[in-house]
Amino acid sequence: MTKSSNILKVAITALGRNKLRSLLTTLGIIIGVACVVATIGIGDGARIQAEDQLRSLGTNFLMIFPGSITSGGARAGFGASSKLSYDDLDAIRHEIQDVTYISATNRTTQQVIYGNQNWSTSIQGAETDWPLIRSWNVERGQFFTDQDVRSANKVCVLGATVAQNLFASEDPIGKIIRIKNLPFKVTGVLESKGGSTMGQDQDDTVIAPYETVRKKLIGTTSVGGILASAASNDLVATAQDEIAALLRQRHRIVKASDDDFIIRTQTEMLQQAEDQSRTMSYLLWSIAGVSLLVGGIGIMNIMLVSVTERTREIGVRMAIGAKGKDIRAQFLVEAVALSIAGGTLGIFSGLGIQKGVARFAGWPVAVQPQAIALAFLFSALVGIAFGFYPALKASQLDPIEALRYE
């Protein structure tokens, strides 16, 4: 229809006459929408990456840690209790059918030396099920054997980062490295797994037999933690319950008391990550809401100024036959055009910010078409909501008064 295209033309012409003002007015919307698009993209990227990494922890994965202990009213933190024993592990291994693989673990940080190179890294003790639980294979050489674990042999498998730092281009297999001044023979190098959820490099590690680490590097009797995997994804929760029941019984925990151990499952951790990102997105949406509100108020303000400024013009238009609804449509279309222009600019700046972040900070970003559509829709709604009152005011002007307005 020609009439609506005329209204659009009139609105765009009017905005074009005050380019700088129009731009400044839409700045609120631009910034709001840009923030939304950028942060949603970055947030989603982070969430997707976190989920990928949690999945990369292994399959149907469970972790059992000693819980906190209370001594004299002061509660020590996570893993402080030494209640978890190797007998517990054996009991789980033998009594719980749903657990297919199980491995004791412990961890210490040591300086690792080869030739004139040295590197501080985390040494993890593990048993032979470990690569199966973590779905983490040896790329070159071999993982150590059960015999190595039982005899506490000084052998180890290197993470890709450690291998790179100590050996560069040299082949590490069969070489002797020194950890805490003890010689360890390198039997293999793990495939690269990349950064973890917290941003630390998972490949920056050395895996050694559990008994070796316990006796020769840490010097303790207690188990640092137990890694296990359930037979299938459906059985993770069952296995968790069974392990909990077994451990409570073994540790003689009475009904009302808390567990002295903690069981984490991969599903739980995924859930947690999702909860976190949901909280994050609520936060982002409230920021978006506030900036769109502020942007909307800016638009209403400038539209009210514009109505006052153009009172005469409104009078003339009415005198030559514009009806209230024509005037209302004109100003409403102007407000919506402003906010949509702002929204569009905001989307592009948001995408630009995403690109910049992706390139310079190396964060992963995910462009979500729904987020863009939503940002666009919201900016249009803001235009309608905040443009309506000024438009109504304009349409209700008395033509006689308006024509007389100086």
Q: Where are the alpha helices (DSSP H) in 175-265?
A: 210-212, 235-250
| Among positions 170, 323, 352, 373, the unique one binding another protein when judged by CB under 8 A | 323
Q: Is 403 in the site for another protein (CB under 8 A)?
A: yes
Residue numbers 15-44 binding another protein by CB under 8 A: 17
**Interface with another protein by CB under 8 A: which range of 54-62, 189-197, 318-326, 374-382?**
318-326
Q: Is 13 in the site for another protein (CB under 8 A)?
A: yes
Tell me the per-residue interface mask from 56 to 95 with another protein, x by CB under 8 A, - otherwise: ----------------------------------------
Residue 152, Cβ density class (10 Å: 0-12 exposed, 13-18 middle, ≥19 buried): middle
Residue numbers 262-281 binding another protein by CB under 8 A: none
Q: What is the dihedral of CA 93, 94, 100, 103, to 10 degrees?
A: 20
> Closest Cα partner for 134 from 201, 72, 198, 55?
55
Q: Is 305 in the site for another protein (CB under 8 A)?
A: no
**Interface with another protein by CB under 8 A: which range of 42-50, 156-164, 254-262, 319-327?**
319-327
Q: Is 315 in the site for another protein (CB under 8 A)?
A: yes
Give long-range contacts, CB 8 A cutoff, 24+ apart: 195-202.
195/53, 196/53, 197/49, 197/50, 197/53, 197/54, 197/273, 201/161, 202/159
User: Do residues 334 and 17 touch, judged by C-beta distance below 8 A?
Assistant: no
Q: Is 364 in the site for another protein (CB under 8 A)?
A: no
**Interface with another protein by CB under 8 A: which range of 31-39, 58-66, 192-200, 311-319?**
311-319
Q: Is 141 in the site for another protein (CB under 8 A)?
A: no
Q: Is 321 in the site for another protein (CB under 8 A)?
A: yes
Q: Is 370 in the site for another protein (CB under 8 A)?
A: no
> Closest Cα partner for 261 from 57, 63, 100?
63
**Interface with another protein by CB under 8 A: which range of 3-11, 22-30, 33-41, 70-78?**
3-11
| Paired strand residues for 103 | 227
Q: Is 362 in the site for another protein (CB under 8 A)?
A: no
Q: Is 2 in the site for another protein (CB under 8 A)?
A: yes
Q: Is 400 in the site for another protein (CB under 8 A)?
A: yes
**Interface with another protein by CB under 8 A: which range of 137-145, 166-174, 186-194, 314-322?**
314-322
Q: Is 324 in the site for another protein (CB under 8 A)?
A: yes
Q: Is 256 in the site for another protein (CB under 8 A)?
A: no
Residue 358 has, within 13 A of its CA and on its CB side, a CA count of: 17
DSSP per-residue letters across 67-130: ---EETTEEP-TT------HHHHHHHHHH-TTEEEEEEEEEEEEEEEETTEEEEEEEEEE-TTH
**Residue number with CB closer to another protein (9 or 75):** 9
| Among positions 166, 186, 322, 338, the unique one binding another protein when judged by CB under 8 A | 322
In the structure encoding, which two tokens stand for residue 150, read together? Answer: 């039982």
User: Do residues 360 and 41 touch, judged by C-beta distance below 8 A?
Assistant: no
User: Do residues 180 and 86 touch, judged by C-beta distance below 8 A?
Assistant: no
Catalog residues that contact another protein under the rule CB under 8 A.
1-3, 6, 10, 13, 17, 312-313, 315-326, 399-400, 403
